[in-house]
Amino acid sequence: MTAHLPSSFDWIGTANLFDRRSGSLHPRSAYEATRCRLLQLSSASLAPIKHLGISRVHGLINRLLPSDSWTTVTDGSWSFSYPSGDYYWNRLLLSNWDYEPDIDFFLRSVKNIPFVFIDCGANFGYWTTRIAGDEHGRHRCIAVEPSPVCLTSLQRNVERISDRVSIIDKAIYSSSGCVAPLFGSRHAGYSLSRNWNGDTSIAHPRVTTITIDDLLVDQGIDSMRTPVIVKLDIEGVEISAMSGATDAIAGDTMFIVEDFAEGGPESDLYAWVTERGMFVYALNADGYSLLTSREKFKGHRRFGRQSRSLNFAVTRSRFWIEQLRLARDR
């Protein structure tokens, strides 16, 4: 079972290696093999209902069969590691499950355009490692993540591409220099918003904030001269974050914004961005389209309610609007 391992693979601290392209699993022990097969089986079983409840099921499996080691998944030249007992990223063990295929399609369509990628809410570095990697264009990336829980995995994942990645351990917000608690009980849902997802527990009592504009200045990036893509996946404070991005909005900046789709109040995203002269594009797994009215925006949100969030591209940059047109025509 451990044949044909990559010659450069280092087993130190790692329990499992999974190749998403071939579907081959290389566990370090029979115990880890059992864990992984159960995680894969549960993911496959929940596929017909769009993996509803997968995090809870994986959490239960991890409690019954705990592991304190690491799992690494590969996809061509890309690799990504996470604690084997993680409730969230173990879904990558299912080869036919794709993480945010709408964002992946968009970023692949523009990968040959020079840009800097700002990954706000980088978590363990999934998008940072892909965009800085060979298959997504080897772009310079700034990974912004305030949680110490996530930073350990993030730092591990960017080690071999550290020449193209900078890590900023702060929280993106409307103002810089504030010290605030980070709320939540699970790393994929930490938020500066106290009542985000109804979870008021404090994950980390002190995180420091920074605005997008200040971040760009600190990193020596002028969005008037350098195209920028900012991914905002920061659990309910995306509009607050954009209010601290006045200069970025005026430059050649494209924002990929996660917008809450279920169980929350009516979204203000469309009104907020269009009032500032920005255009809104719906992202899909096979393309993107300009949304020209609030009704179309709301209709797209209803159409995409199979997940708790939807991703939109918003910009007022003529550069990015033209690049989207060219990418669509290709």
| Same-domain status, 119 and 186 | yes
User: What's the pLDDT tens digit per position in 124-145?
Assistant: 999 999 999 998 999 999 999 9
| Same-domain status, 117 and 86 | no
| Mean pLDDT computed over every residue of the chain | 89
Domain of residue 85 covers 14-93
Nearest Cα residue to 123 out of 141, 100, 148, 106: 148
| Same-domain status, 213 and 68 | no
Q: How confident is the model at residue 308 (pLDDT cuts 50, 70, 90)?
A: very low
Is the confidence at residue 304, as pLDDT, over 80? no
State the pLDDT at residue 143.
Answer: 98
| Cβ contact 320:227 at 8 Å | yes
| Domain boundary residue, one of 62, 93, 124 | 93
| Domain boundary residue, one of 93, 116, 142 | 93
Structure tokens at 13: 């601290």
Number of domains observed in the structure of the chain: 2
The strand pairing partners of 183, in sequence order, are 191, 202
| Cβ contact 268:239 at 8 Å | yes
The four Cα atoms 238, 244, 247, 253 give a dihedral, to 10 degrees, of: -20
CB atoms within 10 A of CB 166: 14
Is the confidence at residue 6, as pLDDT, over 90? no
| Same-domain status, 81 and 145 | no
User: What's the pLDDT tens digit per position in 137-176?
Assistant: 999 999 999 999 999 999 999 999 999 999 999 999 999 9
| Same-domain status, 223 and 305 | yes
181 within domain boundaries: yes
Structure tokens at 228: 């920028």
293 within domain boundaries: yes
| Domain boundary residue, one of 93, 128, 152 | 93
| Same-domain status, 155 and 60 | no
| Same-domain status, 84 and 110 | no
242 within domain boundaries: yes
CB atoms within 10 A of CB 243: 17
293-311 burial code (b ≥16 CB/10 A, e <16): eeeebeebbeebeeeebbb
Is the confidence at residue 20, as pLDDT, over 90? yes
State the pLDDT at residue 264.
Answer: 46
* DSSP secondary structure letter of residue 223: T
Rounded Cα–Cα distance for residues 71 and 13 (Å): 9
Sheet holding 140-144, edge to edge: 165-168, 140-144, 116-120, 228-232, 253-260, 309-315, 279-284, 287-291
247 within domain boundaries: yes
Q: What is the CATH number of the domain that holds 289?
A: 3.40.50.150
Average pLDDT over residues 214-225: 98
Classify strands 116-120 and 228-232 as parallel, antiparallel or unpaired: parallel
| Same-domain status, 74 and 131 | no
| Cβ contact 216:228 at 8 Å | yes
- Contacts (Cβ under 8 Å, ≥6 apart) of 186: 55, 87, 88
State the pLDDT at residue 2.
Answer: 37
Average pLDDT over residues 255-264: 69
Structure tokens at 321: 């609007």
| Same-domain status, 77 and 128 | no
State the pLDDT at residue 15.
Answer: 81
Is the confidence at residue 1, as pLDDT, over 70? no
Rounded Cα–Cα distance for residues 144 and 141 (Å): 10
| Same-domain status, 86 and 217 | no
Nearest Cα residue to 263 out of 320, 321, 195, 181: 195
| Same-domain status, 196 and 304 | yes
Average pLDDT over residues 106-135: 96
317 within domain boundaries: yes
Least confident of 10-19, 217-226, 280-289: 10-19
CB atoms within 10 A of CB 101: 14
Is the confidence at residue 14, as pLDDT, over 90? no
| Same-domain status, 316 and 272 | yes
Rounded Cα–Cα distance for residues 326 and 330 (Å): 6
Q: Helix crossing, 54-64 with 30-46: angle to 10°? A: 160
2 within domain boundaries: no
User: What's the pLDDT tens digit per position in 292-302?
Assistant: 888 888 777 76
4 within domain boundaries: no
139 within domain boundaries: yes
